[in-house]
């Protein structure tokens, strides 16, 4: 069984992420969405909240499981016997940092192959940070995130 890890902060997951995930799930037998537990960052949503929301958003994705990890991604890959890392590319400027991470991960673990999936062009300008900023100001974000995220963002910023 070929398992891939799709790691990230997912604070919160967007339609851009989901588009990458859907296509990754066509390439692998199982894709694990790995939410990074990063004590250095102050996320809007807790890891548990993010996992819960991603599970709801991917309920119809049969090959996808959702989990969290701490520490090095390659150690998590070994633990889950994953053969690949999936990362989405929105634009050329993403590539520089992503390629650096791919090389470093391979240096750390020779079996770590990174698979880059270009995002759907209609989401190429989308990011979790922009979505949060829009939501904070009450803008319509329904085109950018699934309903569960839209509701969760509304609840965070406006309490309902």
Closest by CA position to 13, among listed 45, 60, 59, 41? 45
Nearer to ligand PNS, 71 or 138 (CB): 71
**Burial degree of 131 (CB within 10 A; 0-12, 13-18, 19+):** buried
Confirm whether 17 is a catalytic residue.
yes
Confirm whether 52 is a catalytic residue.
no
Q: What sign does the CA torsion over 89, 37, 33, 16 have?
A: negative
The residue within the footprint of ligand PNS, chosen from 25, 33, 73, 135 (CB under 6 A), is 73
Confirm whether 128 is a catalytic residue.
yes
Smallest distance, ligand PNS to C-beta of residue 104, A: 4
Smallest distance, ligand PNS to C-beta of residue 23, A: 17
Smallest distance, ligand PNS to C-beta of residue 154, A: 23
The residue within the footprint of ligand PNS, chosen from 36, 64, 77, 82 (CB under 6 A), is 36
Q: Which of the following is catalytic: 50, 63, 87, 90?
A: 90
Confirm whether 46 is a catalytic residue.
no
Q: Does 72 bind ligand PNS (CB under 6 A)?
A: yes
- CA dist 136 and 49 (Å) reads 18
Half-sphere exposure of 156 (CA within 13 A, CB side): 21
Smallest distance, ligand PNS to C-beta of residue 49, A: 16
Could you give the C-alpha distances from 58 to 4, 17, 42, 84, in angstroms and in order? 16, 11, 25, 20
Nearer to ligand PNS, 38 or 138 (CB): 38
- Judge contact between 128 and 119, C-beta under 8 A: no
Residues that bind ligand PNS (CB under 6 A): 7-9, 36, 72-73, 101, 104-105
Give catalytic residue positions.
Answer: 17, 41, 90, 128
């Amino acid at each position: 069984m070929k398992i891939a890890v799709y790691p990230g902060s997912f604070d919160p997951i967007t339609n851009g992420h989901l588009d990458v995930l859907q296509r990754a799930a066509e390439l692998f037998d199982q894709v694990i969405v790995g939410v990074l537990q990063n004590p250095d960052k102050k996320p809007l949503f807790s890891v548990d909240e993010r996992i819960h929301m991603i599970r709801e958003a991917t309920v119809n994705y049969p090959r996808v499981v959702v989990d969290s990890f701490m520490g090095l991604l390659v150690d998590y890959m070994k633990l889950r016997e994953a053969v690949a890392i999936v990362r989405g590319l929105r634009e050329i400027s993403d590539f520089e940092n992503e390629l650096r991470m791919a090389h470093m991960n391979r240096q750390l673990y020779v079996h770590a192959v990174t698979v880059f999936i270009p995002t759907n062009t209609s989401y190429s300008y989308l990011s979790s940070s922009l979505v949060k900023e829009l939501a904070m100001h009450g803008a319509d974000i329904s085109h950018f995130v699934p309903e569960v995220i839209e509701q969760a963002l509304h609840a965070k910023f406006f309490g309902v």
